[in-house]
Amino acid sequence: MSEQTSQITSPRIGRRRIDPWSVGALAIAVAVLVPILAVVWFALTPTENIWPHLMRTTFPRYLGNTVVLMLSVGALTAMIGTGAAWLVVMYRFPGRDLLQWALLMPLAVPAYVGAYALVDFLEYAGPFQTALRGTFGWETSRDYWFPAIRTREAAILVISASLYPYVYILSRAAFREQSGAAYEVARALGAGPFARFWRVGLPLARPAIAAGVAVVMMETVNDFGTVDYFAVQTLTTGIFSVWLQGGNLGGAAQLATCVLGLIVVLVTLEKISRRKIRVSGSARGQRPVQPVRLAGARAYLATLACALPLLLGFVMPVLVLISHAFDAAQWVAPGLRRALAHTVVVAGVAAILTVLGGVFMVYGVRLSGRRLPRLLMPVTAIGYAAPGAVLGLGILVPLAAFDNFVADTIVWAGFSDPGLLLTGSAVALTLAYVVRFFAIAQGAADAALGRVSPSLPMAARSLGRTAGGTLRAVHMPLMRASVGSALLLVFVDCVKELPATLLLRPFNYDTLATRVHAKASLENIAEAAPAALAIVLVGLCAVTLLARTSR
């Protein structure tokens, strides 16, 4: 942050003893960090230490499956996302103009929805194997061999098909920003297509690819619905098992701390890899890359290579869901209407609070210019890296303790027991969403405020505007597009979030995500399809916005 952009108030105001903007920013930072610190505290002070037992029994399996999933999904998404980005930037082939935007659409389909659709399509009673038996005259499963569907490898494939757009969009932007002159020089020196990719394009785009893969691997660690459906035991499923089934909070917190440790390692490695790379562009306007037109079989192979991940990550799941959603009775089922209402209310409130908190914190830090809030602001982004199961653990127990304290105080004062005020409501769920996705709102607000010329708020302050008045009159009109985008992205992520919702939702309080998980876990895809399609439609809104902003 530059000195120019951080000083948007007069020195006289900056010297005030009690700065409400600075205090508010600190309060928001504390609220975001408390769940993470609570998990670490529970792990260090367990009531019953079962860590030795976990180390001897399930922990190696949890850790092994988690690491294999992370590395496999990271490698596969790197190949798919980078390869597709290279093709759509560097070449022209049939369907390229449509595919370069359609390749983002799997982001609208949560991985757990893709898992349910894949199993329904490929299982023994599904349409694919049924068509095989009808075509070749096979009668039972003993007449032919078909690979097992619910395996770790299938989970890797489904998660990769859902998450590769994170790598694709960053890689595509990196390739588009490179100079066309570098490739022309490489071509003049005799470098073929693969050599130009390996020696010129890939090294220059490696920071962007590493950032995308890091996000993918963090999302893989966070996944619960997919691995649970495929019966793959990971650290995230272990948290649910040890806490909800084993009743051991300390053991679950210790597993959650291991998950946080993996996330910290991922973020650190990604930062180190970017720090070691220095890429400088020419001071003059550089020539953009000119796509080369492919002809013949190579053109159609490029189309097929880009279409395959789209078919697996979006087209196939959506078609399977649509095939199960023709029953009109399911669309008017009371359970679906309640889940939709709960989702809209909780996700909407969480999105508004998250964006308001992000704007307040960034503006407060820039306004005060003090060291402590400025140091804490980047740390608050850790919530996005923390899996939902970890946040659920760190939020539920402190809130329950607070509820019990309030109830005991009210009873001591002679009134009736009010019960659980926060834990028994959607407040805990809303707080989890705010903490989980605060980094999105904070990043959008920071970028938007950075684009506002410092002279504008200074002029407003010199004309007698207060700090809050300057924010409303000067900054917010200029930040409207960024704030709106952040609001939509946070809302969509709240709609899709599953692990934290399963842990923190009140009794008999379903959202679209939990309804899909509950129905699909009972192999009832027909009743899960409407809710799943609603999630996909909401996700498509965010994908459309993302496609427009990345042009």
Identify the band that residue 329 occupies on the pLDDT scale cut at 50, 70 and 90: low
Q: What is the pLDDT of residues 97-128, one digit of tens each?
A: 899 899 989 988 999 999 999 998 988 888 88
The pLDDT assigned to 402 comes to 84
Of residues 259 and 189, the one with the higher pLDDT is 259
**Residue 310 reports pLDDT greater than 90:** yes
Task: Write down the mean pLDDT value for the chain.
Answer: 82
- 474-to-138, 215, 368, 482, 483 alpha-carbon distances in Å: 72, 34, 18, 14, 14
Task: Specify whether the CB–CB gap between 324 and 114 falls below 8 A.
Answer: no
Q: pLDDT band at residue 407, thresholds of 50, 70 and 90?
A: confident
Tokens of 212: 């995308």
Pairing of strands 91-92, 292-293: parallel
Which CATH number, 1.20.1050.10, 1.10.3720.10, 1.10.10.1100, 3.40.190.10, labels domain 47-275+294-320?
1.10.3720.10
In the chain, % of residues over pLDDT 90? 19
pLDDT, residue 64, reads 93
Q: What is the DSSP letter of 322?
A: H
Q: At what angle do helices 59-90 and 249-275 cross, to 10 degrees?
A: 30
Say if residue 56's pLDDT is above 80. yes
Measured CA to CA, the distance from residue 317 to residue 532 in angstroms comes to 10
Interhelix angle 334-368/476-496, nearest 10 degrees: 140
Residue 549 has pLDDT above 90, yes or no: no
Instruction: Indicate the class that CATH gives domain 17-46+328-551.
Output: mainly alpha
pLDDT at 141: 83
- 408: which residues sit within 8 A by CB, 6+ positions away? none
Q: Are 396 and 37 within 8 A, CB to CB?
A: no
pLDDT at residue 290 is higher than 90: no
Radius of gyration for the chain, computed over Cα atoms and rounded to the nearest angstrom: 25
Q: What is the mean pLDDT of residues 61-74?
A: 94
Please name every residue paired with 293 in a beta bridge, in sequence order, or none if there are none: 92
What pLDDT is stored for residue 8 in this prediction? 44
Q: What is the domain partition of the chain in residue ranges?
A: 17-46+328-551, 47-275+294-320
pTM of the model: 0.83
Where b means 16+ CB within 10 Å and e means fewer, 329-347 reads: ebeeeeebeebbebbbebb
Residue 240 has pLDDT above 50, yes or no: yes
- The pair of three-digit structure tokens given for residue 227, joined into one six-digit string: 């691995």
Average pLDDT of the segment spanning 425-444? 86
pLDDT tens string 476-506: 787 787 788 788 888 988 998 888 888 888 8
**Could you tell me the sign of the dihedral formed by the alpha carbons of 347, 349, 352, 353, in that order?**
negative
pLDDT of 415:
80
The tens digit of pLDDT for each residue in 178-221 reads 776 677 677 776 777 777 788 777 787 888 888 888 889 888 98
pLDDT of res. 486: 82
Calculate mean pLDDT across residues 81-94.
91
d(CA 188, CA 160): 37
Helical packing angle, 438-450 and 334-368, nearest 10°: 40
Say what the pLDDT of residue 9 is: 44
Report pLDDT for 543.
Answer: 82
pLDDT at 17: 56
Helices H / strands E in the chain, number of each: 30, 2
Residue 274 pLDDT class (50, 70, 90 cuts): low
The predicted model gives 526-535 an average pLDDT of 88
pLDDT of residue 262: 83
Indicate if 47-275+294-320 has the same CATH topology as 17-46+328-551: yes
Question: 127 Cβ partners below 8 Å, 6+ apart?
Answer: 121
Question: Residue 408: is its pLDDT beyond 70?
Answer: yes
